[in-house]
Amino acid sequence: MTETGTGLDVDPAVGYAALVVVILSTVLIGVYGLRVSRTTDDFYVASRTVRPWWNASAIGGEYLSAASFLGIAGLILVSGVDALWFPIGYTAGYLMLLLFVAAPLRRSGAYTVPDFAQSRLDSLLVRRVTSVLVIVVGWLYIVPQLHGAALTVRITTGLPSWVGPVAVVVVVYLSVLTGGMRSITFVQAFQYWLKLTALAVPVVFILLRLGADGSPVTGGGSAFTTELDTSADASLYGTISLVIALLFGTLGLPHVLVRFYTNPDGASARRTTLIVLGLLSVFYLLPTVYGILGRIHTPELAASGMSDATVLLLPGRIIDGTTGDLLSALVTAGAFAAFLSTTSGLVVSLAGVISQEFFHGSVTGFRRAALLSALVPLGFALLTDSTALAGSVGSVFAFTASTICPLLLLGIWWRGLTDAGAVAGMLTGAVLCGGAITATAVLGPGRGNGLDWLAQPALWSVPAAFATMVLVSRATARRRPASASRVLARLHTPEQR
C-alpha cells in the first residue's frame, strides 16, 4: 500500500475539508458524551438506558461499514445484478437476529458472546474458545474498514495510503478512550444520519441534473446489460451460499450483539431491531442507485480495479463546479463516517471481551484492551492490499455464521447443548470455513465457478458446525449443565409488566 495520488478528478482541498469536519464532529460528540458518562456501567453499556430510536440509529451507524457505503456500488459496477444480494443479505441478517436472538439475548444479561456462553454452559473452556473466535472475527472485520479508509484518503487527498487507516485508528481510540459506550452511542447515531444524508443529497442533485439535461437515467436500460459486467456471473450455488453466510453471519457479529445490551428489556430489543430493519432498507436503496449510475458514467473504474471508488467519484463526474465539489466532500465525509463508526463499534466490543478476559474488566483495562484491539488490525491492514470490500466482508460473515451463530442459536433454543458440543462445533466450523477462505486466498482470485464451493463455504460449513454441535452434545448428554432449564426460562419469559 505505497501507491500515492492517482490523479483522479477530486480537488484535495475538498477531501481535507470533509475529513476534518467528520473527525471534529466525532470528537466533539465524544467529548460531550464524556460529560454524561459517569459510572462504569455508563462506560460499558450506557447503563442500558438508551431509547429504541437512538439505539436503532446507533446500530445502523455502526453496521453500515465500508462494504455497505463503498463496496456495494463498486460490486454492482463489476458484477451487475448479482451484487444486489449483498444488501439483501446484510438487511435480512437483522431479520434472523430479530427472530432468533434479539429478545432472549437481551434477557440473558450477557454483555458479550463469551459472557453468554459462560452463563449458559457454565464452562470456562467454552468462554475461552468463544473469546478467541470473537477477537479473530473482530480483527478480520476491522481490516476491510481500514482498507476502505486507505482508498478514500488516497483518492480524495492524494496522501499516501497509510494515512487513512492511521487516522481512523487514532480518532477511534481517542473517542473510545474518552467516552466509552455512552458517547459512542451518540456518535454512531449521528453517523447513521450523516451516512444517509451523504448518499441521499448527491443522488437528488445527480438525478435532477440528469433530468434537466434530458439524458435518460438508466441509459435507456443499457445500464443493466450484462456486457458491462467484468466478472463472471455468479452460480446458483454461489448465490445461495452467500445469502446463507450473510443471513446467519449477522447473528454473531460482536459489535452488533453488544448493542442489544443497551436496550432496557427484551421487548424494546425487538422494537429496536424493527426500526433498524427500516433504517437499513432505506439506506441500501442508495448505494444501489450509485452502482447503476456508475455503470453508465464511470464504467472505466471497473476495468482499472478501482470500482470501490464509484461512490466517491460519481458526483464530481456528473456535476461540475462548486456544487460538484461540495457533493464530493459530502460523500467523502459519509465514507469516513462509515469507517469510523464500524471500527469504533468493533473496537469497543472487542475491548470489552479482551479486558474482561485479561484485565479484570476495569476501566483502565478497557482502555488498554481498546489499544490492543485497534493496533493489531492496523498492522495487518498496512501489510496487506485491499481486495473488493464487499467480498472480503462476506468472508467474515461466513466465518461467524459457521462458529458463533450455531452457539447462539442452539444455546438459546435447545436445552440439550453441552460445553463439549459447543466447543467441538465451533472448532469444526472455524477449521472448515477458515480453511476454505485461506485456500481460496492462496489459490488466487483468477478462478472460474468451478471453485465456488471453496470460495463460498457457508452452505456446507454452517450445517457441518450445527451437526457437530448437536451430535457431540447428544453423545455427552451427561455434561448438560444443571442450570439449563432455569437459564432458558429466563431467556424466554417476558419481564414484569
Q: Which of residues 226-285 bind another protein (CB under 8 A)?
A: 236, 239-240, 243, 247, 264-265, 267, 270-271, 273-274, 277-278, 281, 284-285
Q: How many CA atoms lie within 13 A of 78 on its CB side?
A: 25
Kindly determine how many residues on this chain lie close enough to bind another protein according to the rule CB under 8 A: 58
Out of 12, 109, 211, 445, the residue judged to bind another protein by CB under 8 A: 109
Nearest 5°: the CA angle 428, 429, 431 is 65
Nearest to another protein of 102, 169 (CB atom)? 102
Nearest to another protein of 25, 239 (CB atom)? 239
Out of 95, 200, 376, 431, the residue judged to bind another protein by CB under 8 A: 95
28 binds another protein (CB under 8 A): no
Closest contact distance (angstroms) between CB of 246 and another protein is 11
410 binds another protein (CB under 8 A): no
Among residues 179, 74, 28, 5, which one has the least CA distance to residue 389? Answer: 74
Ramachandran area for residue 448 (φ above 0: left; ψ -120 to 50: alpha; else beta): beta
Phi, then psi, of 244 in degrees rounded to 5 = -60, -45
Region from 131-139, 396-404, 441-449, 484-492 binding another protein, contact rule CB under 8 A: 484-492
What's the rounded Cα separation, in Å, for the pair 148 and 280? 20
Closest contact distance (angstroms) between CB of 286 and another protein is 11
438 binds another protein (CB under 8 A): no
99 binds another protein (CB under 8 A): yes
Region from 57-65, 103-111, 195-203, 393-401 binding another protein, contact rule CB under 8 A: 103-111
Cβ–Cβ under 8 Å, residues 472 and 424: yes
495 binds another protein (CB under 8 A): yes
Among residues 197, 185, 151, 187, which one has the least CA distance to residue 6? Answer: 151
Q: Which of residues 153-212 bind another protein (CB under 8 A)?
A: none
Cβ–Cβ under 8 Å, residues 52 and 268: yes
Nearest to another protein of 84, 132 (CB atom)? 84
224 binds another protein (CB under 8 A): yes
CB burial of residue 478 (10 Å; 0-12, 13-18, 19+) = exposed
Region from 1-9, 36-44, 183-191, 304-312 binding another protein, contact rule CB under 8 A: 36-44
Closest contact distance (angstroms) between CB of 85 and another protein is 7
371 binds another protein (CB under 8 A): no
84 binds another protein (CB under 8 A): yes
413 binds another protein (CB under 8 A): yes
CB burial of residue 368 (10 Å; 0-12, 13-18, 19+) = middle
493 binds another protein (CB under 8 A): yes
Q: Cell triple for residue 58?
A: 446507533
**Residue at grid coordinates 469516513:** 336
Closest contact distance (angstroms) between CB of 474 and another protein is 19
What's the rounded Cα separation, in Å, for the pair 176 and 374? 11
Closest contact distance (angstroms) between CB of 139 and another protein is 29
Which amino acid, 71?
Answer: G
90 binds another protein (CB under 8 A): no
CB burial of residue 311 (10 Å; 0-12, 13-18, 19+) = buried
Q: How many CA atoms lie within 13 A of 439 on its CB side?
A: 13
Q: Using a CB cutoff of 8 Å and minimum separation of 24, what contacts does 482-489 make?
A: 482/122, 483/122, 484/120, 484/415, 484/417, 485/415, 487/108, 487/119, 487/120, 488/412, 488/415
Region from 54-62, 95-103, 376-384, 437-445 binding another protein, contact rule CB under 8 A: 95-103
Out of 20, 232, 375, 492, the residue judged to bind another protein by CB under 8 A: 492
Q: Cell triple for residue 485?
A: 432449564
486 binds another protein (CB under 8 A): yes
Nearest to another protein of 122, 265 (CB atom)? 265
What's the rounded Cα separation, in Å, for the pair 472 and 426? 11
Among residues 137, 135, 166, which one has the least CA distance to residue 150? Answer: 166
Cβ–Cβ under 8 Å, residues 315 and 327: yes
Q: Which residues bind another protein (CB under 8 A)?
A: 35, 38-39, 41-42, 47-49, 81, 84-85, 88, 91-92, 95-96, 98-100, 103, 107, 109, 216, 218, 220-221, 224, 236, 239-240, 243, 247, 264-265, 267, 270-271, 273-274, 277-278, 281, 284-285, 288, 292, 413, 485-486, 488-490, 492-497
